[in-house]
Structure 1
């Protein structure tokens, strides 16, 4: 089927004096991994609830797989999946029984349950009750439940929240496999590193509006931030560092000397010519730098 998976045009939603969403527009292509990022209170959840057909917009329009999701559209339910951050499972059921129960709502054949257990790496936990799974395993089971009916489009709400680094990276592999199967993925997260790695494009929201929308690489390039080249203390004096080509600012302290530059290649070459590359680290701008530049650094409750 042709056309975008999601078309959002000038969405608005107000709760009393709070303008939660103020003119949000974006398009998600079929098969795309699309991230929605923003601080707490940015309007992400309200936007997604309107896109998913859970909440009526005050104005604006949404097209989901070519159809309007509001009023609640039963034709869309088999074509989409939703995984929430706080998942609710049926009590006292094993991982396989959980999937069988969810699958039965859509007439899913039994073999699909085993396919999903294998996809999320839970085949060996199929007979384990949900409340005896680890946090990472429960998240993978939640993802499997949202995918058991083979939806064209799936929404993931912070699926790696509160997971340890190993569990997070295991879930990244699952999410990559989901997209590789042709599923369109819409993803929210507070982990900017995983958004930079997983997402084809990201929309950064704040105060109910989209501040920027592009590929992570294009957003980082657009920031035009300095690259930071750091040396262990004692390898180079601050005065010698300032004399190197391309060096802007020099910070000397905390056991290292840090040089800021817009010409990292020239600077690294100059360090190599002086045999000063031992222990050098190079830090370019990241999506987190873009995020903080756009939304600010103040604490959000």
Structure 2
């Protein structure tokens, strides 16, 4: 059974559809990246999955429960890190985590939770009103992790984190997936998504325009890998003519650059160059996730964005209803 499954899930605000007929399945234990530009429908989709909003049409099943009719059961098994969450300023981080432990009936050690997310004992015992954005984000992640939830929903989890915090976040995501949790990871920082996600879904204008493993999305677009070979005496580009799968060749100084549409073409290029000169070094550059994202959200990918109404309505009715697994501990957001 998928951890998340939606069928024709739709949310309208007046004449505008923030989410349009979403069909999505996320496997149990999967780290799924949920991508899209601002206003694409990501936050509205998360609200629908957790029962904070009711769909206009369609349905969503999360962890075997109807996301609307059984929202409490869904949230009882979900750890949520919402975007832009706020905490009670006069309480310490330890107070917040201890409250989360009590609310969920878990037996976590608050100090161990806070240590895991990189908050030292001194910071953990200070009121959170003086916290930096990054410290607040670490606390929010700690609250989401309480009770070993079956599903982690992380909405822009790296916001405000420094490089060490981002590395720690990636480690925690991998650890949670290794123990069997499903991670639904919404972000606009594509390089971070690429490092931890098994698959990604790309939203644009309220629609899911692509969903697959990142390498498969590259292949679907016909995106070529670029092979850079440093040689002692560069040949003319024509020296690589006739190699199947080589789309283009350029020579810049002592570097031969070949665009390859097939994996075996890279080995053939290196072999051909070795016959003619001494190969000093070589490396392969994948087409970035950013490029793939741009292709799909601009409507030039193989799954095209539908014309018509846009997804800007999701910002028109933001904010949760104050219920949920970690929401009672938040001052807003």
Structure-1-length-normalised TM-score:
0.85
- The residue that corresponds to 1:149 in the other structure is 147
Deviations 1:98-156 (A, max 9, x none): 211232322334x4323322332335443244344454433221111112133211210
1:20-99 map, 5 Å: 20-71=18-69, 73-99=71-97
Q: Does 1:259 align with 2:240?
A: no
- The residue that corresponds to 1:287 in the other structure is 289
Matched length: 295
Deviations 1:251-277 (A, max 9, x none): 566996643232222113333444454
* Whole-Å separation in 1 of the counterparts to 2:75 and 2:281: 54
Q: Does 1:241 align with 2:237?
A: yes
* Whole-Å separation in 2 of the counterparts to 1:60 and 1:243: 58
* Whole-Å separation in 2 of the counterparts to 1:224 and 1:119: 41
- The residue that corresponds to 2:102 in the other structure is 104
- The residue that corresponds to 1:113 in the other structure is 110
Gaps of 5+ in 2: 301-310, 313-333
Q: Is the 8 A contact 1:49 1:55 kept in 2?
A: yes
Higher mean C-alpha displacement, 153-162 vs 118-127: 118-127
Per-residue deviation, 1:170? 2.1
In structure 2, do the counterparts of structure 1 residues 269 and 149 end up closer, same or farther at CA, with 3 Å as the change threshold? Answer: same
**What SS is found at the alignment partner of 2:148?**
coil
* Whole-Å separation in 2 of the counterparts to 1:6 and 1:297: 26
Q: Is the 8 A contact 2:93 2:127 kept in 1?
A: yes
Per-residue deviation, 1:58? 0.9
Larger relative contact order (CA 8 Å, sep ≥ 6): 2
Per-residue deviation, 1:62? 0.9
- The residue that corresponds to 1:209 in the other structure is 207
Gaps of 5+ in 1: none
* Whole-Å separation in 2 of the counterparts to 1:19 and 1:255: 54
- The residue that corresponds to 1:164 in the other structure is 162
**What SS is found at the alignment partner of 1:204?**
strand
* Whole-Å separation in 1 of the counterparts to 2:221 and 2:174: 27
In structure 2, do the counterparts of structure 1 residues 194 and 273 end up closer, same or farther at CA, with 3 Å as the change threshold? Answer: farther
In structure 2, do the counterparts of structure 1 residues 138 and 271 end up closer, same or farther at CA, with 3 Å as the change threshold? Answer: farther
In structure 2, do the counterparts of structure 1 residues 274 and 141 end up closer, same or farther at CA, with 3 Å as the change threshold? Answer: farther
Structure-2-length-normalised TM-score:
0.78
In structure 2, do the counterparts of structure 1 residues 271 and 10 end up closer, same or farther at CA, with 3 Å as the change threshold? Answer: same
Per-residue deviation, 1:56? 1.0
CA RMSD of aligned residues (A): 2.9
- The residue that corresponds to 2:323 in the other structure is none
Higher mean C-alpha displacement, 99-108 vs 29-38: 99-108
In structure 2, do the counterparts of structure 1 residues 146 and 291 end up closer, same or farther at CA, with 3 Å as the change threshold? Answer: same
